[in-house]
Chain A
Amino acid sequence: MRRVPLSLVASVVVLFGSSLLPAAALQQSAKGGVGDITGPYEVPDPKWPAWAHPYPKPGHIWGSQGGVFAESPNRIYLANRGELKLPDTVPPNFPGNWGFFNQQAATVPIANMVNCIVVVDGNGRLIEAWNQWDTLFEWGRGPHQVYISPYDPERHVWVVDDMRHVIYKFTHDGTRLVQTLGVLDEFGDNDDLTRLRRPTMIDWLPDGTFFVADGYGNTRVVKFNKDGKPLLKWGSRGTGPGQFNTPHGIAVGGSPPRVFVSDRGNRRIQVFDVNGTFLDEWPGIAPHSMMMSADEHVWAVDSISDRIVKFDLTGHVEYSFGQFGTRPGYTWAMHQISADQEGNLFIAEVFGGRTQKYRPRPGADPTHLVRGRSLLPMSGSAGN
């Protein structure tokens, strides 16, 4: 079933107003908040997280932000693509984010790979810095995204490194690297299940089976069992059903479970069953990142419109907000979104070079808030 392209809908709304829309387009746009920048959220505090304001190393700043994952309201993982050197002089009102300069994206300067994974509390104060793993990210561009499976009682932390073609699985406290998927610095072809090529995102089924969007290079999805053994793959480079151009985001959910894949280069989301059978496509959106919310909706961050879009599982747009920019609340290349169970939303920006925390506005419509999936309680052996 084809849907009306979201970008087209937004353009029509702006040009003509919603009263002129055909029924199908109206269905897609009626609840979309075109022009609404922060939606149900307050304007973020530009000094969040406190850990990075000022940055620990004088004269430097954190750079491109690949990922963020809110395990709970008071434990948030930040995946940083290294630090950048600041100009010799910065204006007194410099808020601490690279995008403030409005020049080049935070991915352009060569970054120093330090403080790549840090954990902060709800106020952004540092809890842990996993500097022991910084060397893993040299020769690449730093961590691409970070996750915890909601179904893992040990709450392992998964970090994707696209440029080095691997996915790391750490213990919850970061003291041990327990598994590496792929082969470091080697990439395979589309039919090679041992090697990945520029993987991007992960999501899980309740039994621990997981799916990897792989990714910039292999343009496929790989399904793994709970132990990390590859089971099957689907997809190839192309524009047809089941083909991809940079599958960059993935979300799993529904009943029966479905796999939602952001086919970014083809500007669509494709829907599959858990064995890769094509079911549907939702055109007109090119998400960097997607997440399955606690109420079983797909939230996607669109790289074209810079909007955060809420879909039901049949592809209807229920709500959207957001706008490109570098001031607080605006975004420049949202790369991963995550939300805690209280509805606080976190957005990592690769070009803007910051991660913003969006707190719910008092009285906000609760159906417009993003709520993260609850995680299984931690088992006693899992450490902190």
Chain B
Amino acid sequence: MTKTIALMLLLPAALGAAASAQGRPNFSGTWTHASSVPPNYPGSNGWGVPSPTIVITQSATEIAIEAGQFGKQPMKVVFRLDGGDTIWDAPSSSQSGNTAIVKWRTKASWDGSRLVLYTWNTALNQMRDILSLSGNTLTIVRATEQPGPSTNATLTYAKRP
């Protein structure tokens, strides 16, 4: 009897967890931007300019996104899926040509079936990407912050077969 009650109590939670997990898409794959030419993205210094191709690898614990701006080397960024921060250092060239160490930080959270990704660095760049999936179409609602005005864009990617 006790086991039955315990099972009855646990079952809805277990079912809920399963349903929640089922509602969370897997974004893994290679994705191609809808446009093959660099868009006129309103940010500065290239920050936020969408990559022509992005490669996403998603596991139960993290999502890794390898992307690059048009004409620039790809960069791989990892987000933990448990809500924790990922922090690392990377050298960066400044406008004056000097090289400085820039600290980076990422954080991810689920909003239903959408995945919200934050990226910050100490060179005063921020990005919030909201990823959603519909069939073979990946939509990224991107908001970027730099010292000047904020920018917004909606980016569409198609899955490469």
Question: Which residues of A pack against B, CB within 8 Å?
Answer: 103-104, 107-110, 138-141, 163, 185-187, 197-198, 216-217, 245-246, 265
Decide: A217 and B147 in contact? CB cutoff 8 A. no
- Proximity string of chain B (117-146) to chain A, C-beta cutoff 8 Å, 1 when within and 0 when not: 010101110101000000000000001010
| Residues from chain B with Cβ under 8 Å of A185 in the complex | 107, 118, 120
Decide: A110 and B102 in contact? CB cutoff 8 A. yes
Q: Kindly list 17 other residue pairs between chains A and B, CB separation below 8 angstroms, not including A110-B100, A141-B147, A217-B143.
A: A103-B96, A107-B147, A108-B94, A108-B95, A109-B94, A109-B100, A110-B94, A110-B123, A163-B124, A163-B145, A163-B147, A185-B107, A187-B128, A187-B143, A216-B145, A216-B150, A217-B150
13 CB-based A-B contacts, threshold 8 Å: A108-B94, A108-B96, A109-B94, A110-B100, A110-B122, A110-B123, A139-B122, A141-B124, A187-B143, A187-B145, A197-B150, A216-B150, A217-B143
| Residues from chain A with Cβ under 8 Å of B128 in the complex | 187
Decide: B148 and A216 in contact? CB cutoff 8 A. yes
Quick check: is B149 within 8 A (CB to CB) of the other chain? yes
A245 to B148, CA, bound (A): 11
When C-beta atoms are compared, the residue in chain B nearest to A113 turns out to be: B122
A139 to B125, CA, bound (A): 9
Quick check: is B24 within 8 A (CB to CB) of the other chain? no
| Residues from chain B with Cβ under 8 Å of A110 in the complex | 94, 100, 102, 122-123
- Proximity string of chain B (69-85) to chain A, C-beta cutoff 8 Å, 1 when within and 0 when not: 00000000000000000
Please judge, given known A-B contacts A108-B95, A198-B145, whether A163 and B126 are in contact too, CB under 8 Å: yes
Please judge, given known A-B contacts A141-B124, A163-B126, A185-B118, whether A198 and B150 are in contact too, CB under 8 Å: yes
A8 to B103, CA, bound (A): 44
A139 to B100, CA, bound (A): 15
Please judge, given known A-B contacts A110-B102, A163-B126, A185-B120, whether A265 and B95 are in contact too, CB under 8 Å: no
Quick check: is B159 within 8 A (CB to CB) of the other chain? no
Quick check: is B114 within 8 A (CB to CB) of the other chain? no
| Residues from chain B with Cβ under 8 Å of A107 in the complex | 124, 147
Decide: A246 and B149 in contact? CB cutoff 8 A. yes
| Residues from chain A with Cβ under 8 Å of B107 in the complex | 185
| Residues from chain A with Cβ under 8 Å of B100 in the complex | 109-110
A198 to B152, CA, bound (A): 14
Quick check: is B33 within 8 A (CB to CB) of the other chain? no
Chain B interface, number of residues (Cβ within 8 angstroms): 21
| Residues from chain B with Cβ under 8 Å of A217 in the complex | 143, 145, 149-150
| Residues from chain B with Cβ under 8 Å of A186 in the complex | 118
A217 to B94, CA, bound (A): 25
When C-beta atoms are compared, the residue in chain A nearest to B107 turns out to be: A185
| Residues from chain A with Cβ under 8 Å of B94 in the complex | 108-110
| Residues from chain A with Cβ under 8 Å of B123 in the complex | 110
When C-beta atoms are compared, the residue in chain A nearest to B104 turns out to be: A139
| Residues from chain A with Cβ under 8 Å of B126 in the complex | 163
When C-beta atoms are compared, the residue in chain A nearest to B123 turns out to be: A110
| Residues from chain A with Cβ under 8 Å of B150 in the complex | 197-198, 216-217
Decide: B149 and A216 in contact? CB cutoff 8 A. yes
| Residues from chain B with Cβ under 8 Å of A138 in the complex | 122
Point out which of A107, A163, A246, A265 has the most chain B C-beta atoms below 10 A from its C-beta. Answer: A163
Distance in angstroms from B71 CB to nearest chain A CB is 23
| Residues from chain B with Cβ under 8 Å of A265 in the complex | 149
A235 to B98, CA, bound (A): 41
A110 to B27, CA, bound (A): 34
| Residues from chain B with Cβ under 8 Å of A246 in the complex | 149
A98 to B148, CA, bound (A): 21
A185 to B121, CA, bound (A): 12
A198 to B147, CA, bound (A): 9
Distance in angstroms from B142 CB to nearest chain A CB is 13
Query: Residue A245 contacts which of B102, B105, B120, B149 (CB distance < 8 angstroms)?
Result: B149
A53 to B124, CA, bound (A): 27
A108 to B95, CA, bound (A): 8
Decide: B96 and A139 in contact? CB cutoff 8 A. no
A185 to B109, CA, bound (A): 13
A138 to B120, CA, bound (A): 11
When C-beta atoms are compared, the residue in chain B nearest to A64 turns out to be: B147
| Residues from chain A with Cβ under 8 Å of B145 in the complex | 163, 187, 198, 216-217
| Residues from chain A with Cβ under 8 Å of B149 in the complex | 216-217, 245-246, 265
When C-beta atoms are compared, the residue in chain B nearest to A108 turns out to be: B95
| Residues from chain B with Cβ under 8 Å of A245 in the complex | 149
A139 to B122, CA, bound (A): 5
| Residues from chain B with Cβ under 8 Å of A103 in the complex | 96
